[in-house]
Amino acid sequence: MTNSKKAAGTHKMKLIASLTSPFARKVRIVAAEKHIEYELVIDVPWEADTKVPEYNPLGKVPVWVFEDGKTLFDSRVIVEYLDSVSPVGHLIPTDPRARIAVKRCEALADGIIDAAALAFLERKRPEGQQSQEWITRQLGKVEAGLAVMSAEMGMNNWCQGDSFTLADIATGCALGYLDFRFPELDWRRSQPHLSEYYDRIMLRPSFRDTVPVG
């Protein structure tokens, strides 16, 4: 086993992530789809000994670290960069209207994750300190977001246009996160087309290899 210190020239770009973070999953899927090499550094921001704040003052993963130590956050900024560095499979269209439609889909998917994560964190508070009103408010955003996500996709194969884009990656990460943290929502029952869609994109190795664990 080569001591990585000796192989000093092998500095690689790094992704600081946890294996449960849906935002980090979005970055991992983009990098896999574009065959971009990087070192995955697992760091759970909730742990007392986390080093994440040294890379991102917001203390959140994912964080991208360049060979020269410069950092990128958040996931939207990272995926925009990754899509620009490799000519393999463009995931964000160049046409302005198509591009902004993909970014809007990403915003909807990320927003569903944000609301679900807030509800999840509230449920982790001590029983007597949980605000049911807050949880209801956040899960209402998840349900409303899913309804629009489904309505806008209609019976299309992809979120936007006629090909696989970043919109599909963000949408898949949101649906996978609900499976992981809120199975009781049973979104597949209320959104059968989204269910068929997710099963289809889960056939991609980039999705299969990054399902949240732990």
**Would you tell me which residues interact with ligand GSF (CB under 6 A)?**
21-24, 45, 59-62, 74-76, 110, 117
| Closest to ligand GSF by CB, 72 or 101 | 72
- Burial readout 120-152 (b: 16 or more C-beta within 10 A, e: otherwise): bebeeeeeeeeeeeebeebbebbeebbeebbee
Cβ closer to ligand GSF: 47 or 95? Answer: 47
> Amino acid letter at 3?
N
Nearer to ligand GSF, 24 or 102 (CB): 24
Q: How far is the CB of 23 from ligand GSF (least distance, A)?
A: 4
| Of 80 and 200, CB closest to ligand GSF | 80
Query: DSSP 3-state helix, strand, coil percentages of the chain (rounded to 5)?
Result: 55, 5, 35
Residue 36 CB, shortest distance to ligand GSF, in Å, is 17
As measured in angstroms, the least distance from the Cβ of 116 to ligand GSF is: 9
Q: Considering the complex, what minimum distance in angstroms separates the CB of residue 135 from ligand GSF?
A: 16
